[in-house]
């Protein structure tokens, strides 16, 4: 059977980053597309009436298409938006959030959504995971749709010091790489770079960074946000408006929100499953002289299960990509906080959880996007909710 090809026009960008097109009554998902492209595509995979396709030839380029500058683009699984102008990336991300809120959260009227641009849209990443293939002597990111490692010499989205570290890792004798080393977590701070696991000359150093006047310590074993340039604005939008007696900071990491919350509320309870991150959060509070916050090392589900929480005015939750567990949403609803800020790096799981919160008596006050991940379809979203009286 020959390779199946089609000519289609890309209508818009969908959650997940693919372009949407239609042909012969079928829905076609086109990878690395721009809205308005007229393209000839090859069908790579079929799933019922859905066709997954890649571009063979651009017949008429979209007005928002641009030449991807990275030599690994298309092969490397890291960036899937380099074909779009930066303005078009921001517009596509606002559309992705809107789409999820409409289809998954079932919102009839989706409020206006603006995605704030990253001041740097190249060389912005201060954290990365590098995949290692010791046999092939390759270091980089997984190739698109595979577990093969794309050997990346220069990654155009890494901050300069992280890029330099990648080069030093690459220049290390391969005999020095531990046999079972499959990936390296790297993170940067104002005082250097931390790698986990440590090997050869590389250490899991303690780093620091000041954000919106707060001083944070962390290392490569704890979560820290990828793009430092928008963190001040993100924090301001998520919690700047909130005040009261007691606040919960769920999935609190090393305390990015916990410290500023401790200045705005009488009492803060932070919950974080990663022991290293929770230890850093406690230390960051101590270094700031903040004694009104308590950080608990537990999964949020276990924490809700194990204790009765007193009255809470405000809940900030910032879960990983999978979103909040059902028991966590139930735990929050049982507390009836006046307001909730949901910080999310995945609009689809955000929308799933918002549906439950709205069903539990909350209304969306406002939504904002922050482009923490330029050149990719990923976007950080903050939704502010209030209890309907």
Ligand X SMILES: C[S@@+](CC[C@H](N)C(=O)[O-])C[C@H]1O[C@@H](n2cnc3c(N)ncnc32)[C@H](O)[C@@H]1O
Q: Which is nearer to ligand X, 90 or 239 (CB)?
A: 239
Alpha-carbon span 5 to 16, nearest angstrom = 23
Could you write out the DSSP letters of every residue in 352-384?
Answer: HHHHHHHHTTEEEEEEEEE-SSTTSS--EEEEE
How much of the chain is helix, strand and coil, in % rounded to 5?
25, 35, 40
Q: Which is nearer to ligand X, 27 or 299 (CB)?
A: 299
| Cβ–Cβ < 8 Å for 219, 192 | no
| Prior bond of 197 cis (ω within 30°) | yes
Alpha-carbon span 128 to 278, nearest angstrom = 21
| Cβ–Cβ < 8 Å for 181, 131 | no
The stretch among 44-52, 67-75, 188-196, 249-257 that binds ligand X (CB under 6 A) is 249-257
From candidates 115, 277, 354, 379, binder to ligand X by CB under 6 A: 277
* 185 in contact with ligand X (CB under 6 A): no
Minimum Å gap between C-beta 69 and ligand X is: 29
| Cβ–Cβ < 8 Å for 318, 257 | yes
Give how many residues touch ligand X by CB under 6 A: 18
Q: Which is nearer to ligand X, 140 or 319 (CB)?
A: 319
Alpha-carbon span 224 to 178, nearest angstrom = 25
From candidates 77, 140, 228, 253, binder to ligand X by CB under 6 A: 253
Minimum Å gap between C-beta 225 and ligand X is: 5
Minimum Å gap between C-beta 387 and ligand X is: 22
Residue 3 half-sphere exposure, CB side, CA atoms within 13 Å? 9
From candidates 18, 128, 296, 300, binder to ligand X by CB under 6 A: 300
Give the strands of the sheet with 244-250, arranged side by side: 115-116, 362-370, 380-387, 339-344, 314-317, 244-250, 265-272, 293-297
Q: Which is nearer to ligand X, 88 or 368 (CB)?
A: 368
Alpha-carbon span 33 to 82, nearest angstrom = 10
From candidates 88, 149, 252, 364, binder to ligand X by CB under 6 A: 252
Decide: helix, strand or coil at residue 153.
Answer: coil
Closest-by-Cβ residue to ligand X is 253
Write the interaction track for ligand X spanning residues 254-273; mark x where CB under 6 A is met and - where it is not: --xx-------------xxx
From candidates 311, 320, 359, 361, binder to ligand X by CB under 6 A: 320
The stretch among 118-126, 160-168, 282-290, 318-326 that binds ligand X (CB under 6 A) is 318-326
Minimum Å gap between C-beta 318 and ligand X is: 4
Phi, psi torsion values for 230, nearest 5 degrees = -110, 5
* 208 in contact with ligand X (CB under 6 A): no
Alpha-carbon Rg of the chain, whole angstroms? 22
Q: Is 70 a catalytic residue?
A: no
Q: Which is nearer to ligand X, 30 or 277 (CB)?
A: 277
* 152 in contact with ligand X (CB under 6 A): no
Dihedral sign for Cα atoms in the order 292, 295, 300, 306:
negative
The stretch among 45-53, 155-163, 166-174, 317-325 that binds ligand X (CB under 6 A) is 317-325
Output the six-digit token pair for 229: 């340039």
Q: Which is nearer to ligand X, 41 or 209 (CB)?
A: 209
Minimum Å gap between C-beta 237 and ligand X is: 13
Q: Which is nearer to ligand X, 54 or 341 (CB)?
A: 341
The stretch among 90-98, 126-134, 223-231, 334-342 that binds ligand X (CB under 6 A) is 223-231
**Catalytic residue chosen out of the listed positions 70, 79, 150, 345:** 345
> How does 280-293 read in b/e, with b if 16+ C-beta sit within 10 Å?
bbbbbbeebebeeb
Given the rule CB under 6 A, which residues bind ligand X?
A: 223-225, 251-253, 256-257, 271-274, 277, 299-300, 318-320
Active site residues per annotation: 345
């Amino acid at each position: 059977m020959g390779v199946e090809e089609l000519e289609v026009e890309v209508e818009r960008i969908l959650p997940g980053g693919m372009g949407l097109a239609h042909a012969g009554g079928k829905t076609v998902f086109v990878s690395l597309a721009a809205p308005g492209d007229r393209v000839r595509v090859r069908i790579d995979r079929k799933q019922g009436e859905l066709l997954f396709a890649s571009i063979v030839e651009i017949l008429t380029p979209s007005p928002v298409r641009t030449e991807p500058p990275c030599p690994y683009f298309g092969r490397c699984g890291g960036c899937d938006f380099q074909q779009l102008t930066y303005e078009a990336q921001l517009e596509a991300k606002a559309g992705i959030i809107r789409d999820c809120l409409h289809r998954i959260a079932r919102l009839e009227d989706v409020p206006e959504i603006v995605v704030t641009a990253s001041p740097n849209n190249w060389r912005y990443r201060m954290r990365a995971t590098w995949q290692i293939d010791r046999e092939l002597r390759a270091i980089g990111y997984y190739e698109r749709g595979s577990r093969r490692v794309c050997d990346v010499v220069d990654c155009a989205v890494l901050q300069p010091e992280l890029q330099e570290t990648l080069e030093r890792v690459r220049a290390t004798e391969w005999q020095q790489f531990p046999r079972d080393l499959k990936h390296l977590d790297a993170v940067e701070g104002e005082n250097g770079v931390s790698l986990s696991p440590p090997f050869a000359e590389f250490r899991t150093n303690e780093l620091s960074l000041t954000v919106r006047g707060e001083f944070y310590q962390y290392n490569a074993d704890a979560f820290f946000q990828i793009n430092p340039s928008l963190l001040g604005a993100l924090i301001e939008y998520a919690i700047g408006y909130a005040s009261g007696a007691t606040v919960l900071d769920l999935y609190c990491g090393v305390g990015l929100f916990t410290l500023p919350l401790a200045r705005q509320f009488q009492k803060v309870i932070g919950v974080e499953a990663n022991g290293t991150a929770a230890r850093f959060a406690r230390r960051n509070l101590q270094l700031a002289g903040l004694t009104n916050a308590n950080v608990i090392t537990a999964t949020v589900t276990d924490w809700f299960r194990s204790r009765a929480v007193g009255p809470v005015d405000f809940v900030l939750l910032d879960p990983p990509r999978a979103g909040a567990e059902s028991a966590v949403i139930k735990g929050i609803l049982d507390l009836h906080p006046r307001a909730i800020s949901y910080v999310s790096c995945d609009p689809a799981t955000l929308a799933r959880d918002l549906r439950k919160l709205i069903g539990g008596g909350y209304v969306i006050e406002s939504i904002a996007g922050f482009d923490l991940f330029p050149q990719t379809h990923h976007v950080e979203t903050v939704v502010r909710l209030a209890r309907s009286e």
